[in-house]
Amino acid sequence: MTNDLIITIRHITRNKIYSVLNIAGIALGIAAFLLILEFISTEKSYNLFHADKEQMYRLVYSNPEGSAWSEMEPGIGPLIKEKLPVITDYCRYETGIAQGVVKVNNPAADPFRESAIGYVDGNFFSFFSFPVKAGKAAKLNQPFTCFLSEKAAVKYFPNQNPVGQTILLYNQFGEGIFRIAGVYSIPDNSDIQYDMVFSLETLGVASYMQGNDWVNINNLSSQYIQTMVKLVPGTDPATLEKQINSVRQSAIPENDGTLLHLQPLTQMHLTISFDDFYPTYGNLRYIYILGLVALLILCMAWFNYINLSTAQSIKRSHEISIRKIIGASRSSLVQLYLTESIAINLLGLFFALFLVYLIQPFFNTLIQKELSLTTIHWNTITLIGSLIFISGALLSGWYTALVITRFQPLAVIKSRMTISGKGVTLRKLLVVTQFAISIGLVLTTFIIYKQIGFMQKSALGMDIEKMLIVRGPSITTDSSFSIQKSGFVQSLESNPQIQEFTLTGSVPGYYYNFRTAGFSQPGSSESVKQKSFAFSIIDHRYLSTYRIPLVAGRNFTPAETAVEWNKNDRVLMNERAIEQLGFSSPEEALTKRVTWDERTIQVIGVVKNYHHTGLQNAIDPIIFYPQNNNVFYSIRLAPGNLKHQISLIEKTYRESFPNNPFEYSFADEQFNRQYLTETKYGSLFTTGAVWAILIACLGLFGLTNYSIQSRIKEIGIRKVVGASVNNIVAMLASDFIKLIVIAGIIACPVAWWAMQNWLDNFAYRIEISWWLLPSAIAVALIIAVATISIQTIRTALSNPVDALKSE
Amino acid sequence: MIKLEHISKWVNQGNNRIFLLKDINLGIEEGEFVSIMGPSGSGKSTLLNVVGMLDTADEGSYQFYDQPVHTLKEKQRSQLYKQHIGFVFQAYHLIDELTVYENIETPLLYQDTKSSERKALVADMLDRFNIVGKKDLFPAQLSGGQQQLVGIARALIAKPKLILADEPTGNLNSKQGEEIMDIFTQLNREDGVTIIQVTHSEKNAAYSNRIIHLLDGRIEHNR
């Protein structure tokens, strides 16, 4: 054994090129594998730290159309707990309605906009297992109390004890003063992430609700809160689901086919299969794609090892023959080569760890998580990963050993036999596989970026260039607010740097104010009432500011935007909405009344279709509702110095709305942010493709080296009989070019098919141009030729006499 | 045709300079049949390689058909020898993966000869050496003598003015050797091809009309 080790070390140090190529290939493979293992094992560890995780279920709604959502009526939780004793407890928490601006209760403090905040039930900290670092968990039971995360505590109260202090929360309910009852921490691998939590009981205080009846914490009509339940151990969830639904049915008699389901907490991050309809925080598809990429890359690394080692066996056949003749058994030889393979894999692992350390920051940006080798969770995924690694290392070593030790000793010594034909075929097959993977990844990357480019460059039907979007003020309790607001609007009007502006409740790229159904017109069928429409709250300046044309009728007047919400009966609709309502033409819509539940509304104008959301989605039917809303100020700037323009607006904003944070973005950037997922896929596949090509090229480099060595005599002869350097290079390269073209022919249809499927997710998509396929092959070819060129040119230039005189 | 003046070639081993060729002065006229003799390591093959432009000297001048070879670039040199010189080796140096026909054809491929012309030229050559029936065989299927015939056929296919042969009969039995030497003589007399051969055998050297003796990289006799 020690003897084997010594020989291994000698072999590795003597054959430097092969050793470096081998170890580098394996290190690259393992590094990619480790990075992805970090990610997948973390994804699989989500939410598993809760003590009663096996008994915890989230309530989820589904409707007959196949949608599923987890927001529900706050009254559901108390109702089912009361009626069904197997439900031992419930906890409600919401993730949207509390958003606003938070400020320490002290005139000098800075305000911050907070989005990861919410109202939660008083038992939040006993129901879940989030550690409370300071204060008493039970205190959250009281109205106007809140808990801060450690991060928020440091942000608002640096070097102070926050417990007992008060903060101000400004949101849709106006101003609230909350006493901080404690500090908690939430692990990174939790889907429930709050920077601060406010007691849900607060929403039971009439003076705080300010007439927002929909938010009543026991109501059974507005769906806005997440509800998690705990069951008696051993309860059958399927039976309980039926009982829950019948309880709900008796309390909410509406029969619209909506059903409640119990989603296990353990499946809240990732579903078990693609068929599951539950809404999740993670993305199972992403996990599968990443896992596949990791495996492919690791396999490529081992293919490299097999390739390079068997190629090298030509050199070693003499050594092996002599060993056999002096009495080595085959098993002892296999053991020798296995030792070598393990040594190479371990060295690869060592360098891989180093590589991971170097690449980690880049990878973390890509994946948008804070991962490191220490965050690998020891769960089944990690176990499977380790098993794959160990068995792959052994298998590749064992196979290589078998091939190398197969020679008949005398044949080798007598005739200086070259490697068997079977080995050559195998190596070609492995090279083809490696390049097929690389080309497939390259083509995938091409198509992803083509689609992203297409979405970013398509005409949107509106103009968002040089458009600044400023968040409206949230701290609006001051009695002089309406004066402040009109003052700011006037300053915008008189600012020569501003071409146009509009005040709205939603802006393109930022979804809608809400969606609702229940619309019909005299000529429409009954089913139209079930169809949902998007609602966007705008003022009279919206269409002209965004340069969206009307196809019929007229725009809102300033007076119409001042009408109270419930008294207004005039709306604009886009062409798509008119169509969905069953009008034959925009003109027809102007003449008929539309019923909205018990109200009647009049379409006064029809807006030309434009892309309010990204091109992944079809254009929604939109109803535009006139209001003097205050959420977004969209400001179109005149040509000029951007920095100066913004600082001018900031100055007047701060003067007009003291205590409010000034936050802005650009409409085009905001809009393109919708393509973040696609961009993420794009960078991921770019990385994967580069990685794969790198490994494939390492292998190609080694194989060229081998091919040159075994053909050195032939090359010499050819040069002597008149072959030029170009002839020789072309001859050597043509073998590999053939293989790469074959790889391309195999890979392209597969990638093409997969990407057709991916593109089907987009309402507006590219058609895959035929020339992308040869381009992907060309990329692989160019890189491959560059890889082999140095060696082949050097060989072709070398003096043929040297090659021939070795006889 | 060939004029070597003060040709030297050496390798450095540590601080010592070992001469492979030292101050060689040699002229060879078109139509000559020259043998180079000498003990192992005397520089015969090196001299042949320099003449064949496969190797360059470190010092001295080399005129081939009044062209200063020592000043030419690699590409021009290879152009020159491709046109004028054919090589024959002791170990035949045929390409194992190619058939007899393809081996003979190879030089033409590198001279961009047309396909129809190549066919005619190779057919002539097969005919001339009586190996038409072997044209589809691979080198490993031939005897040594037959392999060397193929080697000579390949050297002649591009109609060179000069044949350089490095111990062409070294691996052959005496009867096969005689055959090869007869072919050389015939080539020299009837086609006017200049031949330079390296040989150990006095008997083979007798076929030529001039013998150059080398010793330790110098010309000892030139008669």
Shared domain for A479 and A532, answered yes or no, is: yes
B93/A716 touch (CB, cutoff 8 Å), yes or no: yes
Asked if A720 has any chain B CB less than 8 Å from its own CB, the reply is yes
Q: Which of A710, A711, A717 to probe the B interface (max B CBs under 10 A)?
A: A717
pLDDT of A4 over the 80 cut: no
Query: How large is the average pLDDT for residues A677-702?
Result: 86
**pLDDT over threshold 70, residue A409:** no
DSSP A136: -
Q: Is the pLDDT of residue A414 over 50?
A: no
Write out pLDDT tens, residues A10-61.
877 877 888 888 899 899 999 988 888 888 888 888 999 999 999 999 999 9
Query: Is B65 a domain residue?
Result: no
**Could you tell me if A482 and A444 lie in one domain?**
no
- Residue A111 neighbours by CB distance under 10 Å: 19
The band of A412, judged by pLDDT with boundaries at 50, 70 and 90, is low
B94: Cβ–Cβ under 8 A, 6 or more apart, which residues? A717, B103, B139, B147, B150, B151, B154
In a domain, B76, yes or no: no
Contact B110 A800 (CB under 8 A): no
> Searching chain A, which residue's CA lies closest to the CA of residue B98?
A714
CB atoms within 10 A of CB A89: 17
Domain for residue B186, yes or no? yes
Q: Tens of pLDDT along B82-126?
A: 889 999 988 888 888 889 999 999 888 888 889 999 999 999 999
The answer, yes or no, to whether residue A734 has pLDDT greater than 90, is no
Q: Nearest Cβ partner of A722 from B55, B97, B111?
A: B111
Question: Is A706 among the domain residues?
Answer: yes
> How would you class A464 by CB atoms within 10 Å of its CB: exposed for 0-12, middle for 13-18, buried for 19 or more?
buried
Contact A716 B158 (CB under 8 A): no
Instruction: Return the CATH number at B139.
Output: 3.40.50.300
Asked if B207 is an interface residue toward chain A (Cβ–Cβ < 8 A), one would say no
Chain A / chain B CB contacts < 8 angstroms: 46
Q: Which of A797, A799, A804 sits opposite B93 (nearest CB)?
A: A804
Q: Is residue A381, in this structure, part of any structural domain at all?
A: no
Would B177 be classed as within a structural domain?
Answer: yes
A565 and A613 part of one domain: yes
- Clarify whether residues A623 and A709 are in a common domain: no
User: Would you call A707 exposed, middle or buried from its count of C-beta atoms within 10 A (0-12, 13-18, 19+)?
Assistant: buried
d(CA A187, CA A171): 27
Choose, out of B11, B44, B46, B54, the residue to mutate when testing the contact with A (most A CBs < 10 Å).
Answer: B54
Sequence-distant (≥ 6) Cβ neighbours of residue A415 within 8 angstroms: none
Whether residue A510 is found in the same domain as residue A424: no
Q: A344 or B74: whose pLDDT is higher?
A: A344
- A598 interfaces chain B, CB cutoff of 8 Å: no
Contact B110 A724 (CB under 8 A): yes
Interface test with A, best of B48, B50, B93 (most A CBs within 10 A): B93
pLDDT at A324: 73
Q: Which of A718, A720, A727 sits opposite B54 (nearest CB)?
A: A720
Q: Mean pLDDT for chain A?
A: 87
* pLDDT band at residue A651 under the 50/70/90 scheme: very high
Give the C-alpha separation, A649 to A217, whole Å. Answer: 40
B43 touches chain A (CB under 8 A): no
CB contact under 8 Å between B95 and A720, yes or no, is no
Q: Are residues A88 and A184 in the same domain?
A: yes
- Whether residue A105 is found in the same domain as residue A138: yes
Interface residue A727 vs chain B (CB under 8 A): yes
pLDDT of B186 higher than 50? yes
Q: Is residue A358 situated within a structural domain?
A: no
Residue B10 lies in a domain: no
The reply to whether A238 touches chain B by the CB within 8 Å rule is no
Range of the domain at A301: 292-346+388-455+676-804
Select from B55, B95, B138 the residue whose CB has the most chain A CBs within 10 Å, as the one to mutate to test that interface: B95
Q: Does any domain span residue A233?
A: yes
Nearest CB partner across the interface for B106, out of A716, A718, A804: A718
Instruction: Read off the pLDDT of residues A785-803 as tens digits, 9 standing for 90 and up.
Output: 888 888 888 888 887 777 7
Determine which of A712, A713, A720, A724 to mutate to test the interface with B (most B C-beta atoms within 10 Å).
A720
Distance between CA A354 and CA A248 in Å, rounded?
57
In this structure, is residue A26 part of a structural domain?
A: no
Contact between A724 and B95 using a beta-carbon 8 Å cutoff: no
Q: What is the per-residue pLDDT across A442-464, written as a single tens digit (0 to 9) for each?
A: 999 999 999 999 999 999 999 99
Above 70 in pLDDT, residue A416? no
> Is the same domain home to A81 and A111?
yes
Q: How large is the average pLDDT for residues A648-672?
A: 89
| Spatial separation of the C-alpha atoms in residues A337 and B183, rounded to whole Å | 53
- In A, minimum Cα distance to B160 occurs at A721
Q: Do A298 and A394 reside in the same domain of the chain?
A: yes
pLDDT tens, position by position, B129-149: 889 999 999 988 898 889 999
Beta-carbon separation of A801 and B49 below 8 A: yes
- Name every chain B residue with its beta carbon within 8 A of the beta carbon of A800: 54
Measured CA to CA, the distance from residue A642 to residue A635 in angstroms comes to 12
Q: How confident is the model at residue A418 (pLDDT cuts 50, 70, 90)?
A: very low
Query: Would you say residue B183 lies in a domain?
Result: yes
How many structural domains comprise chain B?
Answer: 1
Percent of chain A whose pLDDT exceeds 70: 96
Confirm or reject contact between B37 and chain A (CB < 8 A): no
In a domain, A696, yes or no: yes
List all residues of chain B from 51 to 110 with a beta carbon under 8 Å from chain A. Answer: 54-55, 74-75, 78, 81-82, 87, 89-91, 93-97, 106-107, 110
- The Cα of A799 is separated from the nearest Cα of chain B by a number of Å equal to 7
Name the pairing type of β-strands A259-264 and A174-184. unpaired
The helix/strand/coil state of A77 is helix
Residue B66 is predicted with a pLDDT of: 86
In a shared domain, residues A323 and A203 = no
Higher pLDDT, A156 or A6: A156
Q: Which residues in chain B touch residue A717, judged by CB atoms under 8 angstroms apart?
A: 93-95
3-state secondary structure at position A468: strand
Select the residue from A719, A721, A802 to test the B interface by mutation, using most B Cβ atoms within 10 A. Answer: A721
Amino acid at A317: S
- What residue ranges in A248-317 does DSSP mark as E strands? 259-264
Cβ-defined contact of B54 to A799 (cutoff 8 Å)? yes
A238-291, pLDDT tens digit by residue?
Answer: 999 999 999 998 888 877 788 999 999 999 998 877 777 788 888 888 888 888
Token representation of residue B46: 């090196």
Q: Is the dihedral of CA A718, A720, A724, A726 positive or negative?
A: positive
> Do residues A77 and A93 lie in contact, with contact meaning Cβ atoms separated by under 8 Å?
no
C-alpha span between A748 and A368 (Å, rounded): 30
Closest approach of A428 to chain B, Cα-based (Å): 18
Each residue's pLDDT tens digit, A184-210: 999 988 999 999 999 999 998 888 887
pLDDT greater than 60 at residue A424: yes
The alpha carbon of residue B178 is apart from the nearest alpha carbon of chain A, in Å, by 23
Residues in A closer than 8 angstroms to B97, CB to CB, are: 714
Residues of B with Cβ-Cβ distance to A716 under 8 angstroms = 93
Q: Kindly give, in sequence order, each residue whose CB lies less than 8 Å from that of residue A299, ignoring residues fewer than 6 positions away.
A: A29, A392
ipTM: 0.82
- A40 located within any domain: no
In a domain, B22, yes or no: no
Q: Domain for residue A606, yes or no?
A: yes
Contact A720 B87 (CB under 8 A): yes
Identify whether residues A655 and A724 lie together within a single domain. Answer: no
Task: Tell me if A714 and B95 make a contact (CB, 8 A cut-off).
Answer: yes
- Cβ of residue B119 closer than 8 Å to a chain A Cβ: no
A394 and A487 inside one domain? no
DSSP string, chain B: -EEEEEEEEEEEETTEEEEEEEEEEEEE-TT-EEEEE-STTSSHHHHHHHHTTSS--SEEEEEETTEEGGGS-HHHHHHHHHHHEEEEETT----TTS-HHHHHHHHHHTTT--HHHHHHHHHHHHHHTT-GGGTTS-GGGS-HHHHHHHHHHHHHTT--SEEEEESTTTTS-HHHHHHHHHHHHHHHHHS--EEEEE-S-HHHHTTSSEEEEEETTEEEEE-
Q: How many domains does chain A have?
A: 3
Percentage of residues in chain B with pLDDT exceeding 70? 100
Q: How confident is the model at residue A423 (pLDDT cuts 50, 70, 90)?
A: low
Which of B91, B96, B110 is facing A722, going by the closest CB pair?
A: B110
Domain that residue B106 falls in: 33-54+81-222
Provide CB contacts within 8 A for A429, sequence distance 6+. Answer: none
CA distance A414 to chain B (A): 15
**Distance from A716 to chain B by nearest Cα, in Å?**
9
Asked if B95 and A800 come within 8 Å (Cβ–Cβ), the reply is no
A556 close to A572: Cβ distance less than 8 angstroms: yes
Indicate yes or no: CB of B78 within 8 angstroms of CB of A805.
no
- Residue A169 scores a pLDDT above 90: yes
Tell me if chain B has a CB within 8 Å of the CB of A391.
no
Give a yes or no: residue B11 inside a domain.
no
CA–CA dist A269, A290 (Å, integer): 16
